[in-house]
Structure 1
Amino acid sequence: MWARLEYDLTTRAFLQQDDFKNKMLDVQENPSTLNRHLKDPRIMQALGVLLNVKLRRPNSAEDADIPDAETTEEEPEPEDMEVPEEEREARDRKKEAHKEKEKGNAAYKKKDFEAAIQHYTKAIELDDKDISFLTNRAAIYLEMGKV
């Protein structure tokens, strides 16, 4: 993990900051603390480097609708007759993605990491705008020592 962060130009400078190192050590020792540190953009950047994915930041107009990983709330649903077909399908995919996340959470609690990874991956395929699916999967990889 440390070698990857040192090698990447975007995260190398973070390794000189004690608070960053302490947060990364905290996550490494106890992956369930990951959500507590996600508001730190350095942690998000490091997570992207470690998982070899580009994480979008919600500060751009395109990504402004990505919910915070710690607080995802259900939006009130308008009547189905008023909603265009595409929006209805997107809403259904989002619901299905959250069902997959719940299945992943249940598998994680049983320490069935492979099943949990499959459920979180399916959730990401269904709704790639909810970063909590990715962070949950990342926490499992950290716990398994595969990062």
Structure 2
Amino acid sequence: MKASLFEAKIERLGRSDYGLSAILEWKYDTNEETMVEAQAYRSNSGDESDYKLLPWAIPKQPFYDYINTYYKDVISKNLGYCSNLPKYEDKFQPPWPKNTYKLDKCKIGGDGLPEIAPPGFYKIVFTKFGPGQPTWGFTAVFKLTNKIF
């Protein structure tokens, strides 16, 4: 079984705009035991010892529950327009398609995310795991600033 490959980069789109480009090779089957979870942290300074756990999280849950909630409400709304990620109007029906998913210069609009977030450094740690499947994840770190124009 080949594990997934995930590569991502931030691309400058203009003077003050940035976009996310990524490739995710998904080459294995999911099942009812496939799980996901994510935690979010915030830091004023960006120093590793300064990060504090936030209440914004994806509790450990079955992958299919995640697809029908957070994925549909946040991921699809923010990345659906600039990617070939699957989109679902109704309830997700397994299986999750094996594919090479591509994001092309996605600008995240914030749909489904908290309305107010103070400036600072944010870190999101996402993990996908399950028996007989590769365990993988990513850590995203970004700086949120006030935009004054």
TM-score using structure 2 length: 0.24
Between the two structures, name the one with larger relative contact order (CA 8 Å, sep ≥ 6): 2
Higher normalized strand content (fraction of residues)? 2
Higher normalized helix content (fraction of residues)? 1
